[in-house]
Structure 1
């Protein structure tokens, strides 16, 4: 792995919950708040999607539709050891939940309202995720096997702070010359101070 003393591109050390880990955090919240059985809350996009549930079964498919970052992040230098830089950034994470079944609307309402309960948000907040807002619940029935399937869609937005650490080493010494307008010069060296 490169660091700032070697030149070249720098990859972060450590990991931020992305992809499967972030989906798992969202899935746990949906299960915990709605009370739906765990196997009835599934990522919508899967390499080998399972068969759709029976029309009489309540279930939820969810997907992360966007992760929108703030314009810029904050970089904080940590001088401990050889030194590192931490890039902190806030993001808005949009999650589209599709609730299916005879009680689709009720489960969408329970999830939307349950996100306002502080205790329900504790697990996500421990992962740096906060509830931002929930949109309208919209009817979006599916036509499957010549039948209409009850579906209610809910778009939920969360905020999270991500942190990535880069191996930006401390500057141990530097030297240079100040040139002032009248042409005088003044050398400096941090090792002499």
Structure 2
């Protein structure tokens, strides 16, 4: 197979193209946004809302502390991205991403904070705040009570999964065709 190098990252030469703009928030930055949302809506202190997975997982809070662990448990994208806003120099690639985020509330007031979060995401002003982070609330499922064994003690846990959607836009240096060196002949 013939290799195509990156070249000049435009459609003027053969080769692979990468976006010319910055990437949307993923990984730890996305976790920080979701943690801010959960903390703000539930009323839990920001230090008591932590990503479920990470390179440096936080210590489990003491048994008398209310806290939340969250994580992205699903990530889908639409099957029909759009190429739009074509200029002479570039085109935008738009795609909708849907995230499933599961939040687990723990501690003696875990049920209270879970219910507060459930009710708070239905408040239009809170959804406006979520929109400023680039997301829209699509759906959520009911709270599910569970138990979890943490440090040899059974603790109450309340899980809730939300679906959030956002539009991402990537720019590619795909230049528009302004002239074609073609001669047509015929009758």
Same fold, TM exceeding 0.5?
Answer: yes
Distance 1:6 1:22 in 2: 35
Larger radius of gyration: 1
**Which residue is equivalent to 1:46?**
54
Q: Cα offset for 1:152?
A: 0.8
Residue 50 of structure 1 deviates from its aligned partner by 2.1
Query: How far 1:151 moved relative to its partner?
Result: 0.8
Query: 2: CA distance between counterparts of 1:39 and 1:103?
Result: 16
State the 1:34 CA deviation: 1.0
Matched, 1:5 2:6: no
- 2:4 alignment partner in structure 1: none
Instruction: Tell me the CA shift for residue 146 of structure 1.
Output: 2.6
Paired position in structure 1 for 2:147: 141
Aligned pairs for 1:123-134 (under 5 A) are 123-134=129-140
Structure 1 position 38, deviation (Å):
0.9
Partner of 2:182: 176
RMSD (CA atoms): 1.6
SS of residue matched to 1:68: strand
Write the distance in 2 (CA, Å) between the matches of 1:23 and 1:146: 28
Structure 1 residues 124 and 7: CA distance shift in structure 2, 3 A: farther
Q: 1:20 to 1:145 in 2, by over 3 A?
A: closer
Q: Which residue of 1 aligns with 2:3?
A: none
CA distance in 2, matches of 1:170, 1:145: 61
* Contact residue 10 and residue 17 of structure 2 kept, 8 A: yes
Q: Which 10-residue stretch deviates more, 120-129 or 103-112?
A: 120-129
Question: In the alignment, what sits opposite 1:185?
Answer: 186
Report the TM-score when normalising by structure 2: 0.89
Q: Indicate conservation of the 8 Å contact 2:50/2:58, yes or no.
A: no
Shift in alpha-carbon separation, 1:162–1:106, aligned structure 2, 3 A: same
Segments ≥4 residues shifted beyond 3 Å: none
Give a deviation string over 1:91-124, Cα, whole Å, max 9, x none: 2110010100012122111112111112112232
* Unaligned runs of at least 5 residues, structure 2: 1-7
Q: Give yes or no for contact 1:177–1:185 (8 Å, CA) kept in 2.
A: no
Match of 1:60 in 2: 68
Counterpart in the other structure of 1:155: 161
Q: 1:117 matched to which residue of 2?
A: 123
Q: Within 2, Cα distance between the matches of 1:126 and 1:177?
A: 52
CA contact (8 A) 1:25 1:124 kept: no
